[in-house]
Structure 1
Amino acid sequence: MLANAAHTVLATPELLLLVSAHLAPHDLAQCLRVCKDWSHQLEPILWADFCPKENKHESWNDASMRAALIRNLPLIRTAKIPVTKVFLLELLIHDSETDPSARCTNLTRLEFENSRVEIGISPFTHFSDDDVDLASDQLATLLELNDRLTHLKLPCEFIDTDAPLDALSNLDHLQHLTVVSPEDCEGNGAISNFLRACLPLPRLTELVFDLDQTWDKHTWSTRKLRTIIQKASKERFSRNPTATKIKSLRLPSNCYGKWNPLPLLLLKSNLLDLESCEIPCFDEATDPQELERVVREQCLNLKHLTCPSLSQQEQDGHHMAAFLRGCSGIQSFASKYFCDHAHGFEPRRIMSTLVSHHYKTLEVLELMQCRQMNSADQQEVLSRCRQLKRFWVMNSLGWCSSIGFKFEDIWSKDWACMELTKLGLTLDQFFIINPALGMREAEEKEFIANVARRVYTQIGRLQKLEVLALDIDTSKRSKAKPSDYAWDLTLSKGWLSEMAGLRRLKSLSQPEAFWSKMGHAEVEFIYEHWPSLKEINLQGHILQMSAQSPWLWLLSKRPQLQLVFKHAM
């Protein structure tokens, strides 16, 4: 009876489709073999996303696999093709003499993926020029067959030939366009021709260059680039008077000081109505005051910023500061490998400018794998930005970073960010006691204890906090040792009780330095005061952690709690 009931329920097409949304492709393929009805209903879902894996040895020379792909070409909506399998383009543009409708003509998203971009290997280093030319012609045909494409991601090798650019220029429905390359693009012609093709597209709202480009002013003058942009703007709005403008932009990175007129020319054009962008890389001749004026006049709706590469941050801080001054109300600021470095007697520019001009509107600050951020600047963000919801300054670089948040800075001012829901801190027990105070040793210890208590009191006041990640500064600049933090999150000698108010906390991450002295009293405190907790990430020596009964007791009380043990880096 139960089997019949289950069969009756899953015979409902709507319910079957709902269940299928939670299945992996392999499981979905198994379901197709159950019966003809299931196969008929689920096959379009299985083939809607065509994503062959780069690290799997799929035998596309197998006749049955090729036949299955060709048979289902009209069902494909999304194609993510590894560049190592670029030969699949030939199958996607398959021209059936017996059934002309059996072609890949319903794509809305086409992306070329290459994991080796991240480690600096060119996508086509194992292809000859003839291979690239052939793949480019096949890509052009595929684009012509799918003129309603909305998302496109290409390796830069594809934009160095005419056929793909001609097809690209006719994609009037294209909204999101990305070009990637792991290497510096030396020639200007490919990028210029690419701009000619894509800038006139009337629905293009996101344009991303994930590559480095150095312009040659002996080949391309400012006037030539300005003409390209002006003609593109005229064509864009003549093709569609209600054409949208580009709202999200990332331009090619640029070697510091090299001639690069593109960012300023685009900012001055009427092609942009930016809501988010990566701060462009300007050449050293760019006047910061002019840049600030242009941004203030042309980027009225810009709210979300990312910061470019580490080297650019260190060398081009004055242009980034000018860009920040020109913006009217930044809501989010993100960066990877952020480094706000002060050279000699020069002040830190980027973070201090961000806080001083946008403290009323800033909601998100996320600095992943941060290289350098001043402790006093971190305190300024938390003590001035009342709308802040996410603050994340963490790194995986250890001793070569400089992001420790010093206890003496946390002590100095009350935090104002009571809306905070996500907090990631790298703490440093650094403090200086003025010798002029003439404290005895006992008084110094009491003072230090009060400073440390203040740190955890500040965290405990954040009643809306849902994610808390604590780490310790292990850089060569820190004088504190991991053992100095051992008692901090305890009840007998530390200040865990100061965080009793975190009743919305869902996720906690901490290294061994914090949990090593935690026992039954502490996990009972967690059980009582943090009722929403769903995940605890503990880093350190796994065998030592997993054998500890307090954590096992907590799991017995909350079986749904996810306790994750991670090896120390």
Structure 2
Amino acid sequence: MPPLPLPISVTATAIPEIALLIAKDLCKPDLSSCSRVCRTWSHIYTPLLWRDLHAHVPDADPLLTPTSDTPSASPVSLLLKNGAFIKNLSIVDNNADRPCVSDLIYDRPAVQNLIRLTASSIQHDIISPTRNIVHRNSDTLRVLWLVFHGNKIQNLAGGRRTALFEFPSRMPLLQSLYLQHWQLSRHQLISILKACPSLKLLSFDIHITGDHDEDDLCNGTTDPKDASDQNKDKDEETVFQHQRIETFRMCSRLYMIMEHLPRVKLLEFYRFDRQLDTLHQDRFCQSIREHCLDLQELWAYGFECSMLPAVLDSMPRLVTFRGSSDMATVLSILDHAATLEEANLADYSEKTFLPLQFLESCPRLTMFWTGHSMTTIAQVQESLERGWVCRDLKELRLSIFKLSPLLIEAIMQELGAHREPDSRTSKMRARVIKQGQIMGLEQQQLQRQHELDLQAAIDMLLPDQKAFQKQFAVFLKRLVYLRRLNFGTGWYRVKRSAGPNLTGTNFFRNEHRLDLGS
């Protein structure tokens, strides 16, 4: 009988999954040290070391700088050897007077397995190298973010137009595309959408130019097509629709391409936008009504509020709203009370008690945030007596005029809620723990004294304040899914010991949810 083969010794760090877990907690100098321990570790940690490369001018990534261990290594030789390991590449050339680090990276054939590419402040003289690296990685890229220099589009807008960029004809895996300070024709834009069948997120801050014939000439077409071919292309562009894009970050002047995005669910205005004239606003809303039947989320931070009511009235249903609002916008949101689930009105500043209307009239509401308002304690009490229909509410941020921090703390105590530490508090606590002082007897005594002083202050509340404390806390306890609260002094978390009581109405509500889920 032949002898059994000897077992192969495998160290834990040789397992890729374990190596990745370890690498997540290591900085680049530590990864570099690990890669030089031995040949096995070099094979494991060198790809992790080069996975993310941030080449910003004038401060390039330390990986491109020769060290005392490798004094003869040049950036070119390092990229030639390790460029294939780069997955996430970020380049910012924001100083045209300095040598661009992109010259070292863009034209390196070894950099050909990128998953994410971010290139900001692209100068006119590196458009060709940028095109080369995008084309070379067109089969692997999943996220592409390209931003031309801010003044470039302004210079071209007033003069003769030229093609700024030649997009790859095929990017099968691309899921997120960001284009800023660009100038494209409608024909080029549709060609981009056709080249990216897997695209889910589209973020545009671009300028759409000219008609079809002139754009072909600007694109460098020396032999113009005949009239029949041009008409055929126009017909194909008219009927083309992208079936995967669900999120569209845009400015209002791009309404003319929404007819090609029938599956959009989230419309996001990510910067301030000037008001459209009546004609273009009507066309914008008409595009939504005719082509965006799945649209149900609107994020409009910093957007021109006067346009929002018309946009909201054009949406077939509204599930999520986040952003700026005025009285007209609020009324348009409330027209979707039967479908609204999340409302973030952090910029809401109307002197009215309309925030309570959301809680009283939106039965599907699970998250509601509002900013400063003139909602008074008396108005809240009247609203509680009328009742809130949002029984599935999970997060509530409500501003109540003249609700003191002491009364808020008393309500939270009655509710059994505890303050969530913010980033500043967490850092201070971590520093105290590191210094070994948190368990000291003196600190415990100070904490105990603070709790006694707070309780004494709560006991001194006026009778009407105590009545509101009791009424509000008892009412909030009935909202069995409520987990987070903020009345202006920070977030509190409600701890539920055993979850909702599955009896009576709550039982049937949960049973109904299970039926829907199945």
Q: Scaled by the length of structure 1, what TM-score is found?
A: 0.58
Structure 2 distance, partners of 1:71, 1:198, is 33
**Deviation of 1:339 (Å):** 4.2
Aligned-pair CA distance for 1:153 = 1.0
CA shift, 1:54, in A, is 6.7
Shift of 1:151: 1.7
What is the one-letter code of the residue matched to 1:276?
L
Question: Residue in 2 aligned with 1:84?
Answer: 94
Letter of the aligned partner of 1:107 in structure 2? L
Number of the residue aligned with 1:377: 354
Unpaired runs of at least 5, structure 1: 1-6, 96-101, 114-122, 125-131, 254-259, 341-347, 395-401, 431-447, 470-485, 516-525, 533-569
Identity of aligned residues (%): 20
1:84 alignment partner, SS class: coil
Distance in 1 of aligned mates of 2:378 and 2:231? 52
SS of the equivalent of 2:248 reads: strand
Q: Deviations over 1:466-514 (max 9, x none)?
A: 9799xxxxxxxxxxxxxxxx999935525566548499887777877x9
Residues 375, 9 of structure 1: alpha-carbon distance in 2 compared, 3 angstrom cutoff: farther
**Counterpart pick for 2:393 among 416, 420, 424:** 420
The one of 327, 333, 357 equivalent to 2:321 is 333
> Do the aligned partners of 1:174 and 1:201 also contact (CA within 8 Å) in 2?
no
Does the C-alpha gap of structure 1 residues 290 and 103 become closer, same or farther in structure 2, counting only changes over 3 Å? closer
| Secondary structure of 2:179 counterpart | strand
Aligned position for 1:68 = 78
2:291 to 277, 295, 298: 298
Which among 325, 331, 341 is matched to residue 363 of structure 1?
Answer: 341
State the 1:306 CA deviation. Answer: 1.0
Preserved contact between residue 393 and residue 426 of structure 1 (Cα < 8 Å): yes
Structure 1 distance, partners of 2:232, 2:398, is 47
- Judged with a 3 Å threshold, the aligned counterparts in structure 2 of structure 1 residues 55 and 142 are, in CA distance, closer, same or farther, namely closer
Q: Who is 1:111 aligned against?
A: 118
Write the distance in 1 (CA, Å) between the matches of 2:488 and 2:360.
26
Whole-angstrom distance in 1 between the partners of 2:482 and 2:37:
44
**Does 1:274 pair with 2:264?**
yes
Q: CA deviation at 1:191?
A: 6.0
Matches within 5 A, 1:492-507: 492-493=460-461, 499=473, 501=477
Partner of 2:332: 353
Residue 388 (structure 1) shift: 2.0
- Paired residue secondary structure (1:349): helix
1:286 paired residue number: 279
The CA distance in 1 between the partners of 2:297 and 2:116, in whole Å, is 25
The 3-state SS of whatever aligns with 1:167 is: coil
Q: For the residues of structure 2 that align with 1:15 and 1:176, how far apart are their CA atoms?
A: 29
Please state whether the residue corresponding to 1:426 is helix, strand or coil: coil
2:134 is paired with a residue of what secondary structure? Answer: helix
Distance 2:456 2:176 in 1: 48
State how far apart, in whole Å, the 2-side matches of 1:248 and 1:82 are. 26
Q: Is 1:153 the equivalent of 2:140?
A: no
Secondary structure at the counterpart of residue 152 of structure 1: strand
* Structure 2 residue ranges without an equivalent (≥5): 1-9, 67-71, 216-228, 423-453, 498-518
Q: For the Cα contact (< 8 Å) 2:392–2:480, is it kept in 1?
A: no
Whichever residue aligns with residue 141 of structure 1, its letter is N
Q: For residues 180-218 of structure 1, give each alpha carbon's deviation from its aligned partner in whole angstroms, at most 9, with x where no partner exists.
A: 35xxx8xxx54657525524334133221247x6x8xxx
Q: Is the 8 A contact 1:199 1:233 kept in 2?
A: no
TM-aligned CA distance change 1:420 to 1:504, over 3 Å: closer
Stretch of structure 1 that moved more, 277-286 or 376-385: 277-286
Can you list the C-alpha shifts for 1:451-472, whole angstroms capped at 9, x where unaligned?
x89x959x959x9x99799xxx
Q: Does the 8 A contact of 1:206 with 1:247 survive in 2?
A: yes
1:257-287 deviations in Å (ceiling 9; x for gaps): xxx5x41x323x3443211113687732238
1:482 — aligned with what?
A: none
Larger radius of gyration: 2
Contact 1:266 1:272 in 2 (8 A): no
| CA shift for structure 1 position 140 | 0.8
User: In 2 relative to 1, CA 228–248 (structure 1 residues): closer, same or farther, beyond 3 Å?
Assistant: farther
**Are residue 393 (structure 1) and residue 403 (structure 2) matched?**
no
- Asked if structure 2 preserves the Cα contact closer than 8 Å seen for 1:305 and 1:332, the reply is yes
The residue aligned with 1:174 is 174
Q: Distance in 2 between matches of 1:503 and 1:23?
A: 42
- Output one character per residue of 1:201-255: Cα deviation in whole Å (capped at 9) or x when no partner: 34133221247x6x8xxx8579999x999957826988xxx963533222235xx
CA contact 2:34–2:41 (8 Å) conserved in 1: yes
Checking the alignment, whether the CA contact within 8 Å between 1:365 and 1:392 is kept in structure 2 is yes
CA distance in 2, matches of 1:379, 1:423: 11
How has the CA–CA distance of structure 1 residues 508 and 206 changed in structure 2, closer, same or farther, with 3 Å as cutoff? closer
2:313 & 2:112 partners in 1: Cα distance?
47
* CA shift in 2, pair 1:221/1:282, >3 Å: farther
Is 1:45 aligned with 2:45?
no
Measured at CA, do residues 507 and 391 of structure 1 come closer, stay the same or move farther in structure 2, by a change above 3 Å?
Answer: closer
CA distance, structure 1, for counterparts of residue 382 and residue 456 of structure 2:
19
SS of match in other structure, 1:330: coil
Question: Does the 8 A contact of 2:55 with 2:101 survive in 1?
Answer: no
Distance 1:16 1:72, change over 3 A: same
Structure 2 counterpart of 1:327, one-letter code: M
Deviations for 1:32-60, whole angstroms, at most 9, x for unmatched residues?
Answer: 23433222112222222223467956565
Cα deviation per residue 1:133-192 (whole Å; 9 max; x = unaligned)? 3211110111121112222111134887967622344435433211235xxx8xxx5465
Q: Which amino acid aligns with 1:252?
A: C
TM-score, length of structure 2 as denominator length: 0.63
1:249 correspondence with 2:248? yes
Alpha-carbon offset, residue 330 of structure 1: 1.6
Deviation of 1:305 after TM superposition, in Å, equals: 0.9
How far apart in 2 are the matches of 1:233 and 1:72? 47
Deviation at 1:419, TM superposition (A): 2.3
Question: 1:313-342, CA deviations, whole angstroms, 9 ceiling, x for partnerless residues?
Answer: 2xxx2x42122122222221112xx241xx
Distance in 2 (alpha carbons) for counterparts of 1:301 and 1:221: 30
Per the alignment, do residues 197 and 54 of structure 1 end up closer, same or farther by CA in structure 2, a change over 3 Å counting? same
1:466–1:505 CA contact under 8 A, matched in 2:
no
Q: Residues of 1 paired with 2:211 and 2:19: CA distance?
A: 60
Matched AA of 1:334: R
**Counterpart for residue 134 of structure 1:** 125
SS of equivalent residue, structure 1 residue 419: coil
**Given residue 35 of structure 1, which amino acid in structure 2 is its aligned partner?**
C
Contact in 2 for aligned 1:155/1:180 (Cα 8 Å): yes
CA distance in 1, matches of 2:50, 2:245: 32
Distance 1:58 1:166, change over 3 A: closer
Structure 1 284/243 Cα, relative in aligned 2: closer, same or farther at 3 Å?
closer
1:31 counterpart residue number: 34
Amino acid at match of 2:131: A
